[in-house]
Amino acid sequence: MENITVKIDGKSISVPKGSTVLDAARAAGVYIPTLCHMDNLQSIGACRVCLVEIEGSRALQTACTYPADDGMSVRTTTPRVRSARRTVVELMLSAHNQECTTCGRSLNCELQKVARQLGIQQSRFEGEKPGAVIDESTASIVRDSSKCILCRRCVTVCRQVQGVGALSPAKRGFDTVIVPAMKKELADVACVLCGQCVSVCPVNALHEKESITDVWEAIADPGKHVVVQTAPAVRAAIGEEFGMPPGSRVTGKMVAALKAMGFDRVFDTDFTADLTIIEEGTELISRIQGGGTLPMITSCSPGWIKFIEHFYPALLPHLSTCKSPQQMFGALAKTYYAEKMNLRPEDIYVVSIMPCTAKKYECTRAEMESAQGVPDVDAVLTTREAAKMIREVGLDFANLDNQDFDLPLGISTGAAVIFGATGGVMEAALRTVYEILTKETLANIDFTAVRGLEGVKEATVQVGELPVKVAVANGLSNARRLMDKVSSGEADYHFIEIMCCPGGCLGGGGQPIPTTEEIRKARMQAIYEEDASLPIRKSHENPAVKALYDEYLGEPLGHKSHKLLHTSYTPRSQYPETADEEAVSILVE
Amino acid sequence: MAVTRREVRLCNCRESITTGYSGAPVILRHAETPVFNFDTLKRVLESADRTVICRAACQSALTERGGSSSVGEVWQAAQAAGTVICNAAGFEPGCFKERVLLETSPFRLIEALAIAGYAADAREGIIFLPQQGGMPERIQSVIAEAQKEGFLGRNIQNSGFNFNIRVFAGTGGYICREESALRQLMQGSRAEPMPENGEPPIIHTIEALFQAAEIVENGASPERDTRLFSVSGDVLYPGLYEAPYGSTLRELIFRFAGGMADGGRLKAALVGGPGGICAGAPDIDRRLESKDLPPGSGAITVLSQSRCMVDTVQGIAAFFKDESCGLCTPCRVGTKRLHEVLSWWKSGAGDAADLKLVQGLGEVMQDTCGCSVGRSAANIFMTSLGHFYNEYQMHLAQKSCPANVCRPESKEI
């Protein structure tokens, strides 16, 4: 590719043609602050924090949008640039709810960081602030317009990455707000609650609905037996919250921390991930052999489930009827485990630590109640919330000694760990389905064709006589591509894995902020390392799962399984049902 | 320089147009009823090659707003089978040339757009009409008439040229004078000046389109280099005047518009609309041209001594606060803060130190906003400080309004 040479603060740098000034500055090692910019996703020059002086240009320009040109000379630190950036951020602050000390993003806020870097000690501008609209309508996500700086990142990620488009700017000028369609609340539109908007929000205008208080109360309640389950992707990321580099494997430290916090038992969602493979794998085999609806599609990701219910309701019969591992765990905790421990289901309090905001919503679904009158899962904490609680008890996380999960719901395999990465459920299923169908032992259990961050992956695996065609998608706009193929009948796959978030659960909306492409890769590597390090790496070889079938469930897809581990889905509309008058008036504006 | 009232072919009118504009219906004093006349288009199609037209247009001084290339160059660079857009949504306080041209000369508009389409090898023309005063039904019926007579559609006048025009009546507001915002709106998005990829379509203002048609018809000549000026405010005959480029402010106000109304004395003139320049009485002999007093949209709002500058500038700040699209920070918050602070000053709040802070804000808005609307939002305020600094000081330090318009002493904040 053709290269051009640009001078940044006097330093010459050669960059590919088509680069922006921001790209060139980064290549030259010159830091330019940004707020609205997202690599490869959004360069709209909205926040105007990345202003630079370009020789020969009258006004200042935004580095994120300005094309670098051969021979161009750029200055990034002149008094004019610094003063303009400062004024812009002061204006932003004058319209921002500046309750920093009590803000959920304090010390991890991009606006705070930029303000500090620019040496802003006060905002000289006074005046009206935008009205605070706080939307707590969903179980997962809270919108707080008083914190919003209108960077549009949430709008872009929802539209372009997830293909959902639940958020848009409405009204104009100073009154501009980011709102769901028709100015409805989030719960009343086709939002899948994936939390990717939360993940990219530079401030705290979007955040998860916290369950921290509920969980502390349950732990403090002597009448409650509080068990916690941790999802596979959490262990590959939670270290980041404590200053450890992305990709640090901290399973043992995490278990130690949770025990120190006072949970009665620390269990592993990986146990039910293995169980999911047995149930889902058996379901796949029975659909293939019995002429059931194909391709069968995974059902672990609650954001994905809500997406298909809203946008492709006609394809619901393709979904596996298996509950997600989180919900299987909850169901078993309140039945199998309760009986084993001689506890009443209502005295058991199940907490999940999930990389996910949609899981908070999933556990409130009416179908998710296996023991009478009590939900299977009582509270869901995101990875970030769990970290907050660990900080609250003052643990030195990075230096904790490793501890092991409790028995029996803490035993798992490498196949379960890789659920945290896109392609992982598929790979785990293939390991099991292959061996069950062929009754042979796999020579190589690494199905690398389904690994990696690519949006859509396809593979054909020879299972005995049958070439099994599979596809894997991560991120909902990629899911759309596959679903359109399924709708049109073009897709001749047997099995499709879909994860709502880019990269799978490791890039979930509940994971530490920031989550970038590099960080996703590091977390993914940690997950596959964890898999490779475990003695058992196939779900059907999990001894605790075998014991569960022997002692309690009987057989896969059996009567008890059906009752506890399988579920049903609800077709939903993608449009709000009614438009109130105020909403219509906004559209007319 | 002697100013002669010459024939205005530009508008299909025999004399210069004079209108009264006060938000009330426009009364045309000398305009004729629109005349169905497509002679120029016919001649062009019969005799001229598109390259010849482009070359002729390259000779002219006519460039698009903010553009560095002439109309001819723009046409030459156009891709085949493209679109030519006429942006008739340039309305702003004090500027009414678009409205007058739409009312008096709709056939000439259709003809001029078709000529531009021919020159740019386009297949379609779109007339973007503003939400208010756009008269989409009327323009539609004119288009229909032209189609019926074979001046639009397939194989126009047996020339082999296919060209049609449709109307796009938008709701985008003032921001649509910004071309990329207009394109966003036409693509079904929110009207915001977003950075765009790919080759943009050709967008002409309505005046440029008329001028281009003149050039194609008669060739470029410095003598014919005229502009339309919308003169309004405290003058005897407010109206739309065609005057040579480089006329002085004095000529516009005293010769064309009949001087000050009601025996008032000239205080200031806002040249180039709300985003233009605040000229004071000493600027009266400055020339309305880019290297002296840039006329911008050609709007000249004349203020007599009875007007208060703080009050006037506050009104303009309100306009920009309402018209900001909300995309970029300095415009979204800056226009709001500017309006707030001017309102406080009007009512007696604030002190002299504020002036420096707000001046700094104005400078940053001019230097950092994402589009020309935002960058010009503080222009009148900033330029008014030159001639009327004392008037601001009196509001702030002495809590008095020399023109007796604001009542700074009567309110407390």
Query: In this structure, are A173 and A274 located in the same domain?
Result: no
Size of chain B, expressed as the number of residues it contains: 413
Looking at residue B224, its pLDDT comes to 67
Q: What does the block give as tokens for A178?
A: 């980011």
Catalytic pick from A110, A241, A279, A362?
A362
CATH 3.10.20.600 location in chain B: 225-304
Catalytic pick from A320, A324, A352, A370?
A320
Chain A residue numbers touching B368 (CB-CB < 8 A): 48, 51, 59-60, 84, 87-88
Query: In this structure, are A199 and A308 located in the same domain?
Result: no
Query: In this structure, are A349 and A464 located in the same domain?
Result: yes
Looking at residue B97, its pLDDT comes to 85
Distance of residue B357 Cα from the nearest chain A Cα, in angstroms: 8
Q: What is the 3-state secondary structure (H, E, C) of A261-283?
A: HCCCEEEEHHHHHHHHHHHHHHH
Query: In this structure, are A50 and A150 located in the same domain?
Result: no
Known active-site residue A217: no
Query: In this structure, are A143 and A234 located in the same domain?
Result: no
Average pLDDT of A289-300? Answer: 96
| Neighbour tally for A545: CB within 10 Å | 25
Tracing tokens 């060739």 back to the chain, one arrives at: B219
Q: How confident is the model at residue B380 (pLDDT cuts 50, 70, 90)?
A: very high
Asked if pLDDT for residue A542 goes beyond 90, the answer is yes
Query: In this structure, are A318 and A186 located in the same domain?
Result: no
Query: In this structure, are A29 and A132 located in the same domain?
Result: no
CB contact under 8 A, B333 and A45: no
Would you call B196 an interface residue with chain A, using a CB distance cutoff of 8 Å? no
Would you call A42 an interface residue with chain B, using a CB distance cutoff of 8 Å? no
- How far apart (Å, rounded) are the C-alpha atoms in residues A63 and B15? 51
Average pLDDT of A393-409? Answer: 96
Catalytic pick from A300, A322, A363, A500?
A300
Asked if A34 and A43 touch (Cβ cutoff 8 Å), the reply is no
Distance of residue B130 Cα from the nearest chain A Cα, in angstroms: 14
pLDDT, tens digit (0-9, with 9 covering 90-100), for A16-57: 999 999 999 999 999 999 999 999 999 999 999 999 999 999
Looking at residue B33, its pLDDT comes to 65
Average pLDDT of A203-214? Answer: 98
CB contact under 8 A, B364 and A84: yes
**Residue A100 belongs to a domain:** no
**CATH code, B31-223:** 3.40.50.11540
> CA-based diameter of chain A, in Å?
79
CB contact under 8 A, A88 and B364: yes
B115 phi-psi bin (left φ>0, alpha ψ -120 to 50, beta other): alpha
Query: In this structure, are A342 and A451 located in the same domain?
Result: yes
List, in sequence order, every residue forming a beta bridge with A8; answer none if it has no partner: A11, A74
Distance of residue A279 Cα from the nearest chain B Cα, in angstroms: 46
Catalytic pick from A259, A301, A505, A561?
A505
Asked if pLDDT for residue A175 goes beyond 50, the answer is yes
Asked if pLDDT for residue B394 goes beyond 60, the answer is yes
Q: Which residue of B has its CA nearest to A94?
A: B333
- How far apart (Å, rounded) are the C-alpha atoms in residues B201 and B84? 6
pLDDT, tens digit (0-9, with 9 covering 90-100), for B185-239: 988 899 999 987 777 788 898 888 888 888 888 777 766 677 888 999 999 888 8
Q: Indicate the CATH number of B309-410 among 3.30.450.20, 1.20.1440.230, 2.30.33.40, 3.40.980.10.
A: 1.20.1440.230
Looking at residue B7, its pLDDT comes to 28
Q: How confident is the model at residue A509 (pLDDT cuts 50, 70, 90)?
A: very high
Asked if pLDDT for residue B367 goes beyond 80, the answer is yes
Looking at residue B130, its pLDDT comes to 79
Tracing tokens 């309640």 back to the chain, one arrives at: A221
CB contact under 8 A, A87 and B335: no
Closest to A202 (Cα-Cα) out of A148, A131, A159: A148
Known active-site residue A168: no
Looking at residue B103, its pLDDT comes to 80
**Residue A313 belongs to a domain:** yes
Question: Domain residues for A440?
Answer: 219-565
**Residue A103 belongs to a domain:** no
Known active-site residue A280: yes
Chain A residue numbers touching B360 (CB-CB < 8 A): 83, 87
Query: In this structure, are A399 and A415 located in the same domain?
Result: yes
**Residue A102 belongs to a domain:** no
Return the percentage of chain A with pLDDT > 70, whole number: 98
Average pLDDT of A85-91? Answer: 98
Would you call B190 an interface residue with chain A, using a CB distance cutoff of 8 Å? yes
Looking at residue B245, its pLDDT comes to 85
Asked if A437 and A285 touch (Cβ cutoff 8 Å), the reply is yes
Out of B324, B360, B361, whose CB is closest to A173? B324
Q: How confident is the model at residue B409 (pLDDT cuts 50, 70, 90)?
A: low
CATH number of the domain encompassing residue A69: 3.10.20.740
Known active-site residue A2: no
Quote the mean pLDDT of chain A.
95
Q: How confident is the model at residue B177 (pLDDT cuts 50, 70, 90)?
A: confident
Asked if pLDDT for residue B326 goes beyond 80, the answer is yes
Average pLDDT of B392-411? Answer: 85
Q: How many domains does chain A fold into?
A: 3
- How far apart (Å, rounded) are the C-alpha atoms in residues A182 and A177? 12
Asked if pLDDT for residue A584 goes beyond 70, the answer is no
CATH number of the domain encompassing residue A340: 3.40.950.10
Looking at residue B74, its pLDDT comes to 85
Query: In this structure, are A246 and A272 located in the same domain?
Result: yes
- How far apart (Å, rounded) are the C-alpha atoms in residues A37 and A22? 10
Asked if pLDDT for residue A277 goes beyond 90, the answer is yes
Would you call A266 an interface residue with chain B, using a CB distance cutoff of 8 Å? no
Average pLDDT of B325-333? Answer: 97
Average pLDDT of A508-532? Answer: 97
Distance of residue A66 Cα from the nearest chain B Cα, in angstroms: 9
Distance of residue A176 Cα from the nearest chain B Cα, in angstroms: 6
Residue B159 dihedral angles phi and psi, to the nearest 5°: -95, -10
Three-state secondary structure call for residue A320: coil
**CATH code, B225-304:** 3.10.20.600
Looking at residue B12, its pLDDT comes to 31
Query: In this structure, are A341 and A468 located in the same domain?
Result: yes
Q: How far are the Cα atoms of B94, B114, B157 from residue B147, in angstroms, in the given order?
A: 34, 12, 11
Query: In this structure, are A348 and A426 located in the same domain?
Result: yes
Q: Which residue of A has its CA nearest to B328?
A: A46
CB contact under 8 A, A94 and B173: no
| Neighbour tally for A34: CB within 10 Å | 20
- Pick the range with the lowest mean pLDDT from A66-75, B253-262, B306-315: B253-262
Q: What does the block give as tokens for A53?
A: 């002086």
Average pLDDT of A295-319? Answer: 97
Quote the mean pLDDT of chain B.
84
